[in-house]
Amino acid sequence: MAKKNLEIRKTVGVLIALNALQMAAIVFLAVLSVFDDNVTLDRAESFYLLMIGLVSVIGGATTIFGLYPMGRLSQKIRMMEDSLDSLNSLNNQLRAQRHDFLNHIQVVYSLIELEEYKEAHNYLERVYGDIQRISRVLKTAHPAINAILQAKSDMCRKRGIRMELEISSNLSDLSVPSWEMCRVLGNLIDNAIYALEKDTPPDSRQIAVRLREDLKQYAFEVENNGPPIPAHLWKQIFEPGFTTKGSQGEGMGLFICRQILTEHGGSLEVSSGGGRTVFTGVIPR
């Protein structure tokens, strides 16, 4: 995907450069004809020069206006590929669980036969915990959203972060495409992980993700107990290019998250204080 994005940027760069060279050549000829007595243009030549200038301007404008849909298309492709990666990861985990199920039964049966009841109990507890860890995210009607939640849950577990999921909606009639919703949730959870790892003691790092609904709207929250965001930055963090990550960030994540939701009539807000930072998204039904 990175290679595709690089090719798009190169193509756009070449088109802009060509248009700029055309415009520069036309301006040079026009200036030369005005200030150099040795260079004269008759009416026909002046007309051709004017037409070439107009064509160049139109071509440049077309190129520039074509950048936006090209960028949006590239963004959607990236979101869909990320969702597919998460789905593949979840599918592999489910297949592994199914493959190991018979082995688990055999181990428990053998432990019971040997009257190792405590070991059998402990073994079942571990197996049950593993099953629960995956089953708790399989609650929405969107496999891609289930997959991104599972992927981020695994990421948090490996980094020693406690991630709680409270899913009280299956998001069945969600107007936002699932791959775009994955981009929103993925960005917000990644930001929460970054905030916790930056300045929070390892043994107290927590993230909570909540999905809910009522008669009018779907809502979600991504909460962390990391350092607070100053109130004067609550609006700035949603602006394109603004980042608190220094060289590690591009400043586009939160801007894209809010843009996705607002395009579907929703909103994304932040509140921070009292030891917690909460990003709240709302999407009309």
Residues 149 and 268 in one domain: yes
* CA distances to 63, 159, 160, 201, 237 from 196, in Å: 42, 10, 11, 8, 17
Q: What stretches in the chain show pLDDT beneath 50?
A: 1-4, 6
Predicted confidence (pLDDT) per residue in 256-276, tens digit: 999 999 999 999 999 999 899
Q: Which amino acid is at 208?
A: A
Q: Which domain holds residue 211?
A: 141-284
Residues 156 and 277 in one domain: yes
The pLDDT score that the predictor gives to residue 193 is 95
The pLDDT score that the predictor gives to residue 103 is 76
Residues 153 and 230 in one domain: yes
Coil/strand/helix, residue 284: strand
* Number of domains within the chain: 2
Q: Which residues contact 213 (CB under 8 A, 6 or more apart)?
A: 168, 169, 171, 219, 285
Locus of tokens 């493959």: 99
Strands (E), the chain: 162-167, 206-213, 217-224, 267-273, 276-284
Residues 192 and 274 in one domain: yes
Q: Which two tokens stand for residue 159?
A: 């980094």
Task: Give the domain CATH number at 195.
Answer: 3.30.565.10
Whether residue 94 lies inside any domain: the answer is no
CA distance 215 to 213: 7
CA distance 111 to 130: 19
Whether residue 88 lies inside any domain: the answer is no
The pLDDT score that the predictor gives to residue 72 is 64
Do 127 and 104 meet the contact criterion of CB atoms below 8 Å apart? yes
Residues 74 and 163 in one domain: no
The pLDDT score that the predictor gives to residue 258 is 95
Do 207 and 222 meet the contact criterion of CB atoms below 8 Å apart? yes
Whether residue 127 lies inside any domain: the answer is no
Residues 258 and 187 in one domain: yes
The pLDDT score that the predictor gives to residue 1 is 46
Predicted confidence (pLDDT) per residue in 200-241, tens digit: 898 999 999 999 998 899 999 999 999 999 999 999 999 988
Degrees, nearest 5: CA angle 170-87-264? 50
Degrees, nearest 5: CA angle 118-124-128? 150
